[in-house]
Chains A and B, each alone.
Chain A
Amino acid sequence: MLVLIKSAPNTVEGKRGLKIARDTSSDIVLLQDGVYFMVNEMLDGYCGTAYAIEEDVSLRGLGDIRTGVKIINWDGLIDMAAEEDKVVGMF
């Protein structure tokens, strides 16, 4: 399962999205304010694969942040969503 998170890390929605992803062993895609999860190791304790949408990352000036998060474009997201059995979100 793929969980889409568009809310910032300090919001109830953002926290809920990450918890559901963790509890269901799902991968996550960060977009909109969700890309702020990339900074300050806010994904600590999350073991799945995290992706972030390049356009939303660059828009917020986070392009230079080095993390384990994989940067993808919209094409990448559509391909993943088409392959995945289930997509949940956006939180």
Chain B
Amino acid sequence: MKLTVLLTKPPYGSIQAAEAVRHVMGAVGEEIDVKLLLVDEGVYLAKKGQEIGSTEYTSLEEALKDIIDMGGEVFIDKSSLRDSGLDREDIINGVEVVNSYDISQILLDTDKTMIF
């Protein structure tokens, strides 16, 4: 079974990014072939240097690093990244920058897609 999780929303402002991360983490734990696609404002999930301070939030940057360390694949849409105002060096290591064609191929190849 191949699962793709598509995130279009930025972290913290809504629960969507945390939910995407949680489901990808669960799938990685179950050894499901899972890919996380960051598009539109979902690209901000991969921004380096998130500081949770005294907010009580779980760091989604750390969670994303854990996903990558555990073998989860994370892709970021090149044109969304450009629109976001972030550069490649603003993004954590281990995230692959891909174009729209690559994203189409991932979505065509996957069995199930979850959108957050």
- Partner among B41, B47, B55, B57 whose Cβ is within 8 Å of the Cβ of A8: B41
CA distance A6 to B12 in the complex (A): 11
**Chain B residue contacts of A64, Cβ below 8 A:** 49
Question: Which residues from chain A sit less than 8 Å from chain B, CB to CB?
Answer: 6-8, 10, 32-33, 36, 39-42, 55-56, 58-64
Contact of A63 with B85 at beta-carbon distance under 8 Å, contacts A8-B10, A36-B10, A55-B55 already known: no
Contact of A42 with B57 at beta-carbon distance under 8 Å, contacts A59-B50, A59-B51, A60-B11 already known: no
Task: For chain B, residues 49 to 92, give those with C-beta under 8 angstroms from any C-beta of chain A.
Answer: 49-53, 55, 57, 61, 83-86
Secondary structure at the B interface, as helix, strand, loop or mixed, is loop
| Contact of B49 with A32 in the complex, beta carbons under 8 Å | no
**Chain B residue contacts of A61, Cβ below 8 A:** 47-51, 61
| Contact of A58 with B85 in the complex, beta carbons under 8 Å | no
For the A-B complex, the count of residue pairs with Cβ-Cβ distances under 8 Å equals: 59
Given contacts A36-B10, A62-B49, 18 further A-B contacts (CB under 8 A): A10-B40, A10-B83, A32-B12, A33-B13, A33-B41, A36-B84, A39-B84, A40-B83, A55-B55, A56-B12, A58-B50, A59-B55, A60-B11, A60-B12, A61-B47, A61-B61, A62-B47, A64-B49
| Contact of A55 with B53 in the complex, beta carbons under 8 Å | yes
- Partner among A6, A7, A58 whose Cβ is within 8 Å of the Cβ of B51: A58
**Chain B residue contacts of A41, Cβ below 8 A:** 85
| Contact of B44 with A36 in the complex, beta carbons under 8 Å | yes
**Chain B residue contacts of A8, Cβ below 8 A:** 10, 13, 41
